[in-house]
Copies of this chain bind each other. A is one copy, B any other.
């Protein structure tokens, strides 16, 4: 992140972030609402902006995410580059670009990133050109500015692929949780039901969770044991991966 002679905006390259969060409502994605410059525009967008010319791509994604939503220190994984020449050409998007960009007609390639966070630990706070930053259930998103819906679909695809070869959840759940939370998370990501007994058996075999020998209180049903992740095993499996989880 050192500064050099090129510490200025690179008008041709941007970064966009797909941040997934999770709660009982299911899988959510963090969107910003752009400050409106006219009526009838699609103002929901992924947090994203141009990078600096001397800035590493990963650093740029972190910075932009922080500037627009306040979220920082999040592990971001690259999805890829999106560079269709007409990706910014919808009329309502052009109008908006004219209001915020120095060179609104520039052809911009974006490098997209995604991440998973625990919604309760990260409270987004909009700033810069974001009017608000909100969690929206993934299933309710049907249109976004620019080509962001396409980017979201690619992020989901990558997440679904990732979940088959490494554990997922550490970043999405609170430090203490019950197994049905994890169960719901996996079902949300995969978009289909998973057998409860088989799910528990597999998770236990992986050794990524351990019971705290505490129970829930105040629930109107049999209280569940409370678990935490076994960080060692979890990390090891993130690095090694597994071929075959059968989900």
What is A's interface to B at a CB cutoff of 8 Å? 4, 6, 10, 12-13, 53-57, 78-81, 83-85, 107, 109, 111, 161, 164-165, 243-244, 246-247
Contact = CB atoms under 8 A, between A and B. Distances in A.
Contacts of A165: 161
B85 A56 contact: yes
A46 to B, nearest CB: 16
A136 to B, nearest CB: 26
Contacts of A244: 243-244, 246
A9 to B, nearest CB: 12
Nearest to A11: B12
B12 A107 contact: no
A55 to B, nearest CB: 7
Contacts of A54: 85, 107
Contact of A107 (B53, B109, B164): B53
A53 B108 CA distance: 9
B53 A13 contact: no
Determine the main DSSP class of A at the interface with B.
loop
B111 A81 contact: yes
For A4, A55, A83, which residue has the most chain B Cβ atoms within 10 angstroms?
A83
A79 B109 CA distance: 15
Given A57-B84, A81-B81, A81-B111, 13 more contacts: A13-B109, A53-B107, A56-B83, A78-B80, A78-B81, A79-B80, A80-B80, A80-B81, A243-B244, A243-B246, A243-B247, A244-B244, A244-B246
Contacts of A107: 6, 10, 53-54
A243 B84 CA distance: 31
Contacts of A164: 243
A11 to B, nearest CB: 9
27 contacts: A4-B85, A10-B12, A10-B107, A12-B12, A12-B53, A13-B13, A13-B109, A56-B83, A57-B81, A57-B83, A57-B84, A57-B109, A78-B80, A78-B81, A79-B80, A80-B80, A80-B81, A81-B81, A81-B111, A109-B111, A161-B165, A164-B243, A243-B244, A243-B246, A243-B247, A244-B244, A244-B246
Contacts of A80: 78-81
A123 to B, nearest CB: 30
